[in-house]
Amino acid sequence: MRASILLVAAFVAVAAALPMQSHPTCRPPKNEWANGELVLSPRPHEYLNVEDLPDSFTWGNVNGVNYLSERRNQHGPESYCGSCWDVATTNAVSDRIAILRKNAYPPVVLSAQVVLNCGYGGSCGGGSASGVYEALNKYGLPDETCQAYAGDIAQACKDVNICETCGSSGCTAISNFTMYYVSEYGTVRGADKMKAEIFARGPISCGIDATAALEAYTGGVFSEFSVLPIINHEISVVGWGTNGSTSYWIVRNSWGSFYGEDGFFRIKMGGDNLAIETDCSWGVPTLTKPSTAAPKVAAPVPVPAPAAKTPAELGLYHDLSRPGVRIDRTASRQMNIVSPQPFEFLSVGDLPASFDWSNVNNTNYLPSPRNQHIPQYCGSCWAHATTSALSARYFIANNAQGIPFNLSPQILINCVTANQTQGCNGGDPLAAYAWIAVNGIHDDTGTWYEAKNLPCTDYYKCHTCEPSGKCNAVPNCLNFGVAQFGEIVGEAAMKAEIFARGPVAVTIAVTTDLINYTGGVFHDTTGAIGDDHSVMLTGWGVDNSGTPYWTIVNSWGTYWGETGAARIVRGVNNLGIESQGAQWATPRL
Ligand SMILES: *[C@@H]1O[C@H](CO)[C@@H](O)[C@H](O)[C@H]1NC(C)=O
Ligand SMILES: *[C@@H]1O[C@H](CO)[C@@H](O)[C@H](O)[C@H]1NC(C)=O
Ligand SMILES: *[C@@H]1O[C@H](CO)[C@@H](O)[C@H](O)[C@H]1NC(C)=O
Ligand SMILES: *[C@@H]1O[C@H](CO)[C@@H](O)[C@H](O)[C@H]1NC(C)=O
Ligand SMILES: CC(=O)N[C@H]1CO[C@H](CO)[C@@H](O)[C@@H]1O
């Protein structure tokens, strides 16, 4: 008894003298997925001269263009998850897909959850980056609209947990969706080789010792050479720079945008600070399937058989008994309009014949697409359309500088109650903007989309979880907002508003043919008009046969329609698109 007390006391004394290791399980020692390499072509350090590389370089700003994908928070939604190795790697490959696709719409965010569901290299108890790269080569990964981040709520590796949509009676596997692959992957160590790899091919993922001091970091160039580093965390290194006297790495963490410098930290380069130059890895994305790739799981058994059922017949995408839009048109709905609206000062005849925020002067201003129906059915289109449009308008207001983000629809589902709005049972887009104008909103790194009605508490507005298992509210998180907001109708006013200020939310009817839509200019012939659904309206054009159309971005995943978007015939009030109301809001800057 006495001996064991002494032992405990000795252990406590030693532990207190050592730096605290607070992420003990996020990057455990190597496992069976570790150290895999598939190197098929010369590596950048073999053909680049490191002396020729610039003093500063970051994929967050290459000649004024950002290629970095959205920040993530691994620590939620309901508990701690040691998935740093997974999130750092899927983020780095998502960046490289943006580089490969020259930032074309839509931005791709690879699904970190599929990695967890399938155990590609580890679990919430930790894992290795090379497992993710190996799986990206052998099996591929879909984007997040197939499988949302659920952290600890990992599921079995089967089709429905790789790509799904959910209806009122459960979730169904999607059989036709895009998989992303890497053609080769490997490891890199040492500052010079890391620089060559990053410069030539894009961000890399690296192991690091996440010390208590790094956890407490709030900005500046970090350095900590006083500890014997033990790699227990993984991050992505996206570039480097110098402040005049000190060179540093630019690092994206996976602890939310509220960590450090907007989710990033800078750490002194050279000398293997916290072991950041010891254990890095890279993958080269490809848009064609490698010849060795095979499905992880057997081809899906059509549910229910046979496969002839259409999405509409399967009750997918939209449940007409659960409207996504609830607008009390007899009530006076709040707006805040203090300056002239674009339709008052722009002449519609002066606007271009085609215009779309997915490509204005070769720049995409739209955030990554969403899926309101995963991990379960939720009639939250009103929250998705409004937050997507506002996110785009922030990017427009920032002149496409900085890292794009998606404002959190979940906060609105939890909190907006005005005028019949009922979370997953539908809501009023204008009431969403009215709520944001008063309360503010945050990106989705503190409030993950969970597709259910949660309480409107500080905790559910913004939280994060610790290795101890404890989850805490993040204070002062709602730092984005709305200045003016209103509603317009009619083609001319909608065009002027979109052209001058950015995408809007718009209310449309949903028909079975819209549910089945796979591409082309949609033209409803049933005469449907109604408050069924809310989508983001991003622009307009005219097709080869001279048919004018609107472009909308839906929140039904990228496997629906034209990569998540659709064209709808314009000028004839199809689905009520020009008469049911388009809601707009300007960002509070
Ligand atoms: C799968 O999707 C692609 C791209 O959207 C499309 O070209 C193809 O026809 C689809 N295949 C099936 C079987 O639906
Ligand atoms: C550069 O960073 C180092 C390390 O944090 C710091 O000591 C130094 O004052 C910084 N220099 C400038 C010019 O900011
Ligand atoms: C769309 O869904 C409806 C209702 O299930 C079905 O009758 C129709 O044939 C489908 N259309 C197409 C083109 O698949
Ligand atoms: C696109 O280019 C045109 C012509 O140079 C310019 O007038 C316009 O402001 C640009 N649009 C954006 C959003 O940068
Ligand atoms: C946010 C919002 O639009 N609230 C409105 C709800 O309805 C009442 C009654 O008509 C209005 O007074 C509010 O402005």
Atom 5 of ligand 4 has which residue's CA nearest to it? 361
Centre of ligand 1 from the C-alpha of residue 178, in Å = 10
> What pLDDT is recorded for position 11?
33
Residue 301: pLDDT over 80: no
- Our answer on whether the CB atom of 312 is closer than 6 Å to any ligand 3 atom is yes
Query: Is residue 370 within 8 Å of 486, Cβ to Cβ?
Result: no
Atom 5 of ligand 2 has which residue's CA nearest to it? 221
Centre of ligand 5 from the C-alpha of residue 430, in Å = 10
Task: Give the Cα separation of 544 and 136 in Å (integer).
Answer: 38
Centre of ligand 4 from the C-alpha of residue 361, in Å = 6
Centre of ligand 3 from the C-alpha of residue 512, in Å = 6
Cis peptide before 475 (omega within 30 of 0): no
Closest approach atom of ligand 3 to CA 512 = 2
Query: Is residue 359 within 8 Å of 400, Cβ to Cβ?
Result: no
Q: Which residues pair with 534 in a beta bridge?
A: 507
What does the longest C-alpha to C-alpha distance in the chain come to? 90
pLDDT digits (tens, 9 = 90+) for 225-257: 999 999 999 999 999 999 999 999 999 999 999
Q: For ligand 5, which residues put their CB under 6 angstroms from it?
A: 331-334, 418-419, 430-431, 434
Angle at 473 between CA 468 and CA 474, to 5 degrees: 105
The dihedral built from the CA positions of residue 420, 423, 427 and 433, taken in this order, carries a sign that is: positive
Q: Which H helix or E strand runs over 214?
A: helix 212-215
Q: Which residue type does 288 have?
A: T
Query: Is residue 53 within 8 Å of 231, Cβ to Cβ?
Result: no
Percent of the chain with pLDDT over 70: 92
- Give residue 154's pLDDT band: very low, low, confident or very high (50, 70, 90): confident
Centre of ligand 3 from the C-alpha of residue 315, in Å = 11
Q: Which of 26, 81, 84, 171 is catalytic?
A: 84
pLDDT digits (tens, 9 = 90+) for 360-402: 999 999 999 999 999 999 999 999 999 999 999 999 999 999 9
Q: Could you write out the DSSP letters of every residue in 144-201?
A: TTTS---TT----SSGGGTSEEEETTEEEE-SS---BEEEEEEEE-SHHHHHHHHHHH
Residue 16: pLDDT over 60: no
Mutate to test the pocket of ligand 2, among 214, 245, 273 (most ligand atoms within 8 A of CB): 245
Closest approach atom of ligand 5 to CA 331 = 10
Atom 12 of ligand 2 has which residue's CA nearest to it? 243
- Our answer on whether the CB atom of 458 is closer than 6 Å to any ligand 3 atom is no
| HSE of 460, CA atoms in CB hemisphere, 13 A | 17
Q: Which of 253, 273, 554, 574 is catalytic?
A: 253
Q: What is the mean pLDDT of residues 445-474?
A: 95
Q: What is the mean pLDDT of residues 440-452?
A: 97
pLDDT digits (tens, 9 = 90+) for 130-142: 999 999 999 999 9
pLDDT digits (tens, 9 = 90+) for 470-487: 999 999 999 999 999 999
Closest approach atom of ligand 5 to CA 430 = 3
pLDDT digits (tens, 9 = 90+) for 497-554: 999 999 999 999 999 999 999 999 999 999 999 899 999 999 999 999 999 999 999 9
- Our answer on whether the CB atom of 246 is closer than 6 Å to any ligand 2 atom is yes
Closest CA to 314 of 151, 462, 512, 102: 512
Closest approach atom of ligand 4 to CA 365 = 13
> What pLDDT is recorded for position 3?
35
H helices of 440-489, where?
A: 458-461
253 belongs to the catalytic site: yes
Q: Which two tokens stand for residue 560?
A: 């629906």
Q: Could you write out the DSSP letters of every residue in 227-287?
A: S-----EEEEEEEEEE-SS-EEEEEE-SB-TTSTBTTEEEEE-SS-GGGTTTSEEEEEEES
61 belongs to the catalytic site: no
Angle at 107 between CA 532 and CA 382, to 5 degrees: 20
Residues whose CB falls within 8 Å of the CB of residue 320, separated by 6 or more in sequence, listed in order = 510, 532
84 belongs to the catalytic site: yes
Among 154-158, 342-346, 380-384, 395-399, which is the least confidently predicted range? 154-158
Which pTM was predicted?
A: 0.93
Domains of the chain, each with CATH number or no CATH: 19-39+50-286 (3.90.70.10), 348-588 (3.90.70.10)
Phi-psi region of 428 (alpha: psi -120 to 50; beta: other; left: phi over 0): beta
Percent of the chain with pLDDT over 90: 85
> What pLDDT is recorded for position 300?
45
- Average pLDDT of the chain is 92
> What pLDDT is recorded for position 18?
36
Q: Which of 23, 75, 233, 463 is catalytic?
A: 233
- Give residue 13's pLDDT band: very low, low, confident or very high (50, 70, 90): very low
Between the two ends of the chain, the Cα-to-Cα distance in Å is 63
Task: Give the Cα separation of 365 and 393 in Å (integer).
Answer: 8
Residue 22: pLDDT over 80: no
Centre of ligand 5 from the C-alpha of residue 534, in Å = 19
- Our answer on whether the CB atom of 360 is closer than 6 Å to any ligand 4 atom is yes
